[in-house]
Amino acid sequence: MGYLQLIINPGSTSTKLALYDGEQKILQSSVEHKAEELHRFETIADQVPYRLGLIRDFMAENHIKGEELSAVMGRGGLVFGLKTGGYQVNDELAEALVNPAYSSPHASNLGGLLARAVAEEYQIPAYIYDAVTSGDLSPVAQITGIPEITRRSFSHVLNSRAQAIRYAASLGKRYEDMDLIVFHLGGGTSASVHQHGTMIDSVGDDDGQFSPERAGCVPSLELNKLCFSGKYTKAEMDKKIRGRGGMFAHLGTSDCREIERRIQAGDRHADEILQAQAYQIAKTIGLLSVALKGKCDAIILTGGLAYSKLLTDRIKDYAGFLAPVVVIPGENEMEALAQGGLRLLTGQEQANVYHLPERKEL
């Protein structure tokens, strides 16, 4: 018998479920949630019984026997201070996933809670893997010019590490023996530095390049002025920064395919905005190359937007002098979770143990 894993990936509008035997996907399904279904729950944690019912239905409809599972893998939540890799969902991690003193409220926090609820029934381990907030930033990398604000790792860790591991394997090398910069290109973009198997720095979607839907880093004095102009509420400013910023703010769309169609039709403004997007991405790559002191084996471009050859070619044009640029388009979070779980189950990796910090982070 192989290693049978139930994969749970909750999002703000869906719950994605899959069954993997080793690295082979047996089946996958996605349950879409109407807004009114979720609005009746006061907190994210309140959704657990509702989504757990959907998981049990999925298992029953597909004749999945819990006794045959080796583990349940949940998407990692936004818990502060996590390292990359896997964590078994213990009592303290479960507490952190629902306590705003230790985490930011997000639908992904349900991954660990749901995995644990299913796993407890069958006395098997529940894990989360490569949470968005995981990383190994040095104390120096965490310092900002405002003492009250500390840089935390915040990036598309799950897909980025999976593609870095995949790339190293394609060369017959170990991920732990390579120095890489990985750029995830999606509705939000993020970059991370991987030095000998450790993610030593990252740039999220609010402290670097703009993206299809995110404003990225902008001049802080001008942003401060806009925030206190009286023209916008906090909620409206939040949307300007994340959701309706970036290419959407300039062009009214975040669909790169539509933007490329406009460029092909002669839209010079759309062409300039896409060029600026490539330029800012390349600037971030250059910034992060400093963390490796210029010793970079490759720059990996991944995520849905990496299917745009027009964009990736422009990034290569700017940043190709730093290291070979490799394009691995798309992302598969379910596969990445299954691969991570398999490494934990086979002993290739050891699960981290989470302990609540002695002093709560605010």
H-run or E-run covering 270: helix 268-289
Confidence band of 361 (pLDDT split at 50, 70, 90): very low
Q: 4-134+334-345 belongs to which homologous superfamily?
A: ATPase, nucleotide binding domain (3.30.420.40)
Return mean pLDDT, the chain.
94
HSE of 113 in the Cβ direction (CA atoms, 13 Å)?
A: 25
Mean pLDDT of all residues in 170-194? 96
Confidence tier at 36 by pLDDT (50, 70, 90)? confident
- Alpha-carbon distances of 89 from 66, 119, 267, 294, rounded to whole Å: 18, 10, 51, 38
Return the pLDDT at 360: 46
> What pLDDT was estimated at residue 359?
53
Half-sphere exposure of 238 (CA within 13 A, CB side): 3
CATH code at 157-330: 3.30.420.40
Which residues neighbour 250 within 8 Å (Cβ) at sequence distance 6 or greater? 269, 273
Q: Do the first three CATH levels of 4-134+334-345 and 157-330 match, i.e. the same topology?
A: yes
pLDDT at 86: 97
Question: What is the tens place of the pLDDT at every residue in 204-237?
Answer: 988 899 999 999 999 999 999 999 999 999 999 9
Predicted pLDDT of residue 362 = 41
Cα dist. 159→89, 120, 225, 300, 337 in Å? 21, 27, 36, 11, 9
Q: What is the pLDDT of residue 55?
A: 97
In this predicted structure, the answer to whether residue 1 has a pLDDT above a threshold of 80 is no
CA angle, corner 89, sides to 87 and 92, nearest 5?
105
Mean pLDDT of 302-325: 97
Q: What is the pLDDT of residues 57-82, one digit of tens each?
A: 999 999 999 999 999 999 999 999 99
Query: Which pair of tokens denotes residue 138?
Result: 């040095």
Return the sign of the alpha-carbon dihedral for residues 190, 191, 194, 199.
Answer: negative
Q: Count of CB atoms within 10 A of residue 194's CB?
A: 28
The per-residue pLDDT for 249 is: 96
Q: Is the separation of the CB atoms in 115 and 73 below 8 Å?
A: yes
Cβ–Cβ under 8 Å, residues 141 and 159? no
| Residue 134 contacts residue 69 (beta carbons within 8 Å) | no
Tell me the per-residue pLDDT of 118-145, one tens digit each, with 9 for 90 and over: 999 999 999 999 999 999 998 999 999 9
Which amino acid makes up residue 200? Answer: I
With H, G, I as helix, E, B as strand and everything else as coil, classify residue 103. strand
More confident residue, 89 or 153: 89
More confident residue, 34 or 291: 291
The domain limits of the chain are: 4-134+334-345, 157-330
From the list 44, 94, 77, the residue with the least C-alpha distance to 354 is 94
